[in-house]
Amino acid sequence: MYKDYFLILQVHYLASDEVIKAAYKRLCQIHHPDQGGKRHLFHDLQEAYESLMDPKKKADYMKVWMKFNIHEEKFHMDELKDSFYNITLFHIKKILIEYLEAIRDGDFEGAYGYISHRNQKHLYLKDFVNWQRAIGQVHQILDFECFIKQVHGSDHHQPEIRFRVKVKEYNQVLNRVEEDFFDRVLVYEDNQWRVKLNHFDVKSVIKKYKKISALNKKNKKQFHRLLPSLEEGRTTKFVSKRFFISNCDYEYLRFKRYKNVFSILSVEVTGPLDSHLLEETLAMETRDTDSFCLFDKNHYYILLPETLKSAGSTVANKISSALRGKTEVKLKYKISQVNERYESIKEMLDRLKA
């Protein structure tokens, strides 16, 4: 009869011999018959330990184990089956869920306790709390789900588990509920699983999020303006240059966090043009999530969230078609996409002017 030795010993399939040995000793103290344990459970522990600690027995057992849990002759790390995940990695998922629940509930100090010790050496509690609080002022987590993505060994032959997190958030900048995805890695460190964060300039991110939050509140009161030709009560997406750059910074942070690509479309006006006509056209031919500004003389910039460069060209064609017959002024377009190796938003905007 088939038995899952990893489940019996409560270890993952990548556990080292030291981890298996430690788990065996711990469970023996609980299930040994002399301690009141059940004899059949203790026998299973001995059987599992002897099989996994002997290289030849373990190799033979893994063929059987994969047949029951992977349902494939060849074991592919990046194509793990649900059955394998549920049996072997459920206890690791619980760590990630508790970490995300702490962040969702505003218990940032509690969440800090879940991150790796290496992270804690470079990221102090105060900065972690300020970082999460600043993000929370823009993105409020409503719900989330975690899925196994990849299992692999680290440089020290200790496992890392990469999860894909699907999160539902209230976006206070765009005033809407949206779903996004990001990856989170858990590492086995000091005999326990911990959340591993990528190293980055936390203080810079905090500063940008605070700026975005403050400008968002100010913009709602001052920067939006109504165009007479639009339906009554509708606010245009025409914003100040300062707020436009803030919007770009915000999308850049989303790109870093979720890998959501965005583009910026430059519209250069050649010759005299009724600015009211152009601004009205830009407002009508773009989405509610887009924004634009008069960046400098004869130059309008349009921010297109979650838009590839090719789709940005479609927006340019729509603007030209809408203006056809209304003016003879020529418009020159340039498009930049965020993942074109720009070091900053400033460089991205400067390239559009070049």
Q: Which of 43-47, 172-176, 263-267, 342-346 has the lowest mean pLDDT?
A: 172-176
Q: Which is it for the CA torsion 16, 21, 22, 26, positive or negative?
A: positive
Question: Contact, 317 vs 298, CB < 8 A?
Answer: no
Average pLDDT score over the chain? 81
Number of helices (H), then strands (E), in the chain? 14, 8
pLDDT for res 157: 52
Q: Higher model confidence: residue 34 or residue 80?
A: 34
- Cα separation, 332 vs 282, whole angstroms: 14
Averaged pLDDT, 95-99: 93
Domains and their CATH numbers in the chain: 5-76 (1.10.287.110), 90-200 (3.10.450.100), 223-353 (3.30.70.270)
* CA 265 to centroid of chain Cα atoms: 25
Give the per-residue pLDDT at 70.
Answer: 55
Taking 70 as the threshold, does the pLDDT of residue 33 lie above it?
yes
Summarize the confidence of residues 111-133 as an average pLDDT: 94
Select from 258, 114, 106 the least CA-distant residue to 186: 114
- 69 token code pair: 């849990």
Q: What's the whole-model pTM score?
A: 0.58
pLDDT score of 114: 95
Tell me which DSSP letter residue 234 carries.
P
Region 79-95: mean pLDDT is: 61
Average pLDDT, stretch 143-153?
A: 80
Q: What is the DSSP letter of 325?
A: T
pLDDT for residue 125: 95
CB 166 within 8 A of CB 145: yes
pLDDT for the residue numbered 221: 55
pLDDT of 59: 79
Res 153: pLDDT: 55
Q: Which tokens sit at 297?
A: 């003389």
Query: Are the C-beta atoms of residues 289 and 174 closer than 8 Å to each other?
Result: yes
Q: How far is CA 230 from CA 85, 118, 137, 235, 283, in A?
A: 54, 55, 31, 8, 9
pLDDT higher at 336 or 13: 336
Report the C-alpha gap between 338 and 131 in whole angstroms.
Answer: 23
Largest CA-CA distance found in the chain, in angstroms, rounded: 95
Mean pLDDT value across residues 115-130 = 93
Q: Is the pLDDT of residue 207 over 60?
A: yes
Q: pLDDT tens-digit profile of 13-24?
A: 777 788 888 889
Higher-confidence residue of 22 and 78: namely 22
Q: How far apart are CA 236 and CA 243, in angstroms?
A: 14
Residue pair 265/316 in contact (Cβ under 8 Å)? The answer is: yes
